[in-house]
Amino acid sequence: MPTAKPPEGLSFDRLPTPIGEALLMWDAQGALRIFDWSDYEARVQRQLARLYGPVTPTPGRAPEAIVLALGAYFEGEVTRIDDIPCASAGTPFQRAVWAALRRIPAGTTQSYSGLAAQIGHPTAVRAVGLANGSNPIGLVVPCHRVIGADGSLTGYGGGLERKRWLLAHEGAAFKLAA
């Protein structure tokens, strides 16, 4: 069952990036609803159905402000994505996790347990991990900044190579697998 009614005017576009083509979806108000990688388009379709039910976004040109901010991010101005307006359906717990993700500054990381404590649910580490993994607005809602408690890279929906690239691009410290 969908968690919210479909947003009005849902549109999509594709954007080339240094680490692959991104798939963007936004609503009539210009709020980013989905950011994912086009090689995971089937997952995006499942996510749309889960969040909003049957919906067919129309092709379009992404809002200039979003495109400019993402371009600046990939050119090294890593804080430019902080001001991209986002909106998403999800449970209250998921939205709390996603809001906390947006507060992790570029160039830093957070552990799952630290994130759980930050939102006032210190024992909900696994639930935080699930919410992090179901984040529909990857990169802009920076789930890639969540790493293991020992500083090691953990899963990322776009693949560990992308996560490694994003964290290195932002200047964040993390451990490489042996």
**Positions marked catalytic:** 143
Nearest to 20 by CA among 70, 83, 89: 70
3-state secondary structure of 65: helix
Distance, in Å, from the CA atom of 175 to the CA atom of 178, rounded to the nearest integer, reads 9
R_g over Cα of the chain: 16
Residue in this structure with the two tokens 């986002």, named with its chain if needed: 86
Question: What is the C-alpha separation between 36 and 144, in angstroms, rounded?
Answer: 12
What type of residue sits at position 118? Q
The CB density around residue 46, as the number of other CB atoms within 10 Å, is 11
Amino acid letter, residue 67: V
Overall residue count recorded for the chain in this entry: 178
